[in-house]
Amino acid sequence: MTTEPSTLPHSRDDSVGGSRTDAGAARRIDGRRLLWAAGVTCAVLAVVSIVPGFNVHQTPHPSASQATAKLSLPASTAQPKQRETSKGPRWQTVVVQAGQTMGGIFSSLNLPSTVLHRLLQHPEAKDSLTRIRVGSRFDFDIAEDGAFRALRFERGDAERVVLRIEDDQIVEHKQQRALEHRVMMASGVIENSLYNAGEAAGMSVGAILEMAKVFGYDIDFAQDLRVGDRFDVVYEEVWRDGARLRDGDVLAATFINQGKRFEVYRYVFADGRTEYYDQDGRPTKKSFLRMPIEFARISSRFSSARKHPVLGKVRAHRGVDYAANTGTPIHAAGEGKIQYAGWKNGYGRTIIIQHAGNVTTLYGHMSRLGGYKTGARVRQGDVIGYVGQSGLASGPHLHYEFRVAGVHRDPLKVTLPKPQPLPRNELARFQSQRAPLQAQLSRLAAAEPTTPTRG
Ligand SMILES: [Zn+2]
C-alpha cells in the first residue's frame, strides 16, 4: 500500500510531531479525524462533536407503517363533550426537543394535565415519563374528539410499553421485543485516517470508535497511526424488528501498527461481565491512560534541558505539555487517591494523584479544579480539572508529570509491569471462547480488505 505523502491531509494537529526524528517510516496521518479515537472515556461525546448531525442512535421506528405526525396538532382546541366512539388508533408521534418536559408535551397536545398525573401514578411509568431525553419518542393515541386514549414508548432496547385507558382505568401493556446480535466482519488498510479506512470497510462511526477504544491503551491513534497499518475486526450489531438498532461490542480484532501486531478478544465471564484481553489472556486495559487529555497536541516533551518559555532560563522539563483550549477536561490517568489539590507555586492550580506501586501523577496550570478534595479517591478517566494557564505558563496547556518512587519519568516512555493474565481456570475458559474468534480473524487476514460481511 503506497500513497504519496503529498496526498496525505496535513493539519495543524499534524505538527504535533514537529520534533519527531523517526521520519523514515513516519508518514503522519490526519490527526483531526483520529484524535477522538485516542479518548477512552468521553468517546461517545466526541462522535457527536466531530461528526455534527450524525446521529449514531438514529433508529427506524419499529412500526414504520404508521404515519408519523410532527408536533402540529389538531387545530381545534375546543374539546367536544361527547367522546366519539373510536375506531382504530390514531397515533401521533412526538420526538422530544431540547428543553421540553412531559407537561409541556401534554399541553401542546391539548391534553389535560390530569391525564399526565394519572399516568404518573402508574407504577413503573413515572421514570420513563419524568426523565425524558432529547430525541426519544412518544406515541399518543388521541381520539378525534381530542380525548387521550393511549401512550406508547420504548423502555430500554427490548421492551415497548403501552399505557391505555380501559374502562377509565390506566392499564399497562408490555411488549417484549426480540433483539438480534449480528456478527459482522471487516478489514481495512489505513491510507489517510482510521475513520476513512473504517468507513471504506463499511463500518459505522460507532463501530470504528469501539474498535479504537479496545486498542486505546496500546495505540495512540493521534500519533502512532501510519499509512499501511491494517485492522481486521469481528464485531456485533444489534438489530430489532429487521432494522439495525445500534452498534454492539467488538468481539475480536487485530491491529498491525507500524509492523507491530496487537490482538484483543472480548471475554464473557460466567456472570455475564465482559472485559478485553490479548491472546495470552492479559487485560488490555492498563493502569494508566496513554494521555490524560483528549483533543490535545504535545507542545513540549520530557527533556533534561530546555529553555523555559517564561523564565527564559535553561532548565529540565520533567513532564509533558499538552496544548489544548482552556476548559478542556483533564482525566485522572489512573485509579488513585488525591494527594494534593490546590495552588502550587509555578504549577498554578495543581492536582497530584497517588497511585499504587509508588507512582504519582501531577497535573498543572489548571483553570479550575474538578471538585476532588485531598484524600478523595478517583477512578481512571475521572475529570479532575480543566486546562488553563495558571502559574508560570505562556499559554493554556496541561503540564503532566509521572513519578515512580519520587523520580520523574517520561510519561510517554515509561514502561510499567505487564498486567497479570487471567487465573488458570478462567484462562482455559477464555482460550476456548477465543478459538473460534481467532479462526475468523485468520480468515479475514488471509483475504483482501472488504466491506463487512455477516460472520
Ligand atoms: Zn510543562
pLDDT at residue 129 is higher than 70: yes
| Cα 218 from Cα 262, distance rounded (Å) | 8
List, as one string, the DSSP characters of 165-225: EETTEEEEEEEE--EEEEEEEEEEE-SS-HHHHHHHTT--HHHHHHHHHHTTTT--TTTS-
Per residue in 84-93, pLDDT tens? Answer: 454 688 999 9
pLDDT category of residue 196 using cuts at 50, 70 and 90? very high
pLDDT category of residue 449 using cuts at 50, 70 and 90? low
Per residue in 156-178, pLDDT tens? Answer: 888 899 999 888 888 889 989 89
Q: Give the pLDDT confidence score for residue 390 in this predicted structure.
A: 96
For the chain, domain boundaries: 21-56+179-286+422-455, 91-176, 297-409
Fold designation for 91-176: Nuclear Transport Factor 2; Chain: A, (3.10.450)
Ligand 1 centroid vs 385 CA: distance in angstroms?
16
Mean pLDDT of all residues in 11-33: 35
Ligand 1 centroid vs 401 CA: distance in angstroms?
8
Ligand 1 centroid vs 322 CA: distance in angstroms?
8
Query: Of 76 and 106, which is predicted with more confidence?
Result: 106
Ligand 1 centroid vs 143 CA: distance in angstroms?
67
Mean pLDDT of all residues in 11-34: 36
Q: Thinking of the domain 297-409, which architecture would CATH place it in? A: Distorted Sandwich (2.70)
Q: Are the CB atoms for 290 and 38 separated by under 8 Å? A: yes
| Cα 431 from Cα 351, distance rounded (Å) | 41
pLDDT at residue 226 is higher than 90: yes
Query: Of 34 and 252, which is predicted with more confidence?
Result: 252
Cell numbers placing 73: 396538532
Ligand 1 centroid vs 414 CA: distance in angstroms?
17
Ligand 1 centroid vs 400 CA: distance in angstroms?
7
Per residue in 327-359, pLDDT tens? Answer: 999 999 999 999 999 999 999 999 999 998 899
Ligand 1 centroid vs 45 CA: distance in angstroms?
28
Ligand 1 centroid vs 357 CA: distance in angstroms?
24
Ligand 1 centroid vs 398 CA: distance in angstroms?
7
Ligand 1 centroid vs 28 CA: distance in angstroms?
24
Ligand 1 centroid vs 221 CA: distance in angstroms?
23
Ligand 1 centroid vs 371 CA: distance in angstroms?
23
Ligand 1 centroid vs 338 CA: distance in angstroms?
20
Ligand 1 centroid vs 19 CA: distance in angstroms?
16
Domains 21-56+179-286+422-455 and 91-176 share a fold: yes
pLDDT category of residue 396 using cuts at 50, 70 and 90? very high
What pTM, to 2 d.p., does this model score? 0.61
Q: What percent of the chain has pLDDT over 70?
A: 78
- Residues having C-beta closer than 5 Å to ion ligand 1: 319, 321, 399
Ligand 1 centroid vs 23 CA: distance in angstroms?
25
Ligand 1 centroid vs 47 CA: distance in angstroms?
29
User: Across 61-70, 291-300, 427-436, which has the greatest mean pLDDT?
Assistant: 427-436
Q: What is the mean pLDDT of the chain?
A: 80
pLDDT at residue 268 is higher than 80: yes
Q: Give the pLDDT confidence score for residue 339 in this predicted structure.
A: 97
How far from 44 is each of 41, 203, 306, 380, CA to CA, in Å?
Answer: 8, 16, 38, 17
Mean pLDDT of all residues in 306-326: 82
**170 phi, psi to nearest 5 deg:** -90, 125
Ligand 1 centroid vs 302 CA: distance in angstroms?
8
Ligand 1 centroid vs 237 CA: distance in angstroms?
43
Query: Of 384 and 216, which is predicted with more confidence?
Result: 384
Per residue in 23-76, pLDDT tens? Answer: 333 344 443 334 333 333 333 333 322 332 222 233 333 332 233 323 333 333
Fold designation for 21-56+179-286+422-455: Nuclear Transport Factor 2; Chain: A, (3.10.450)
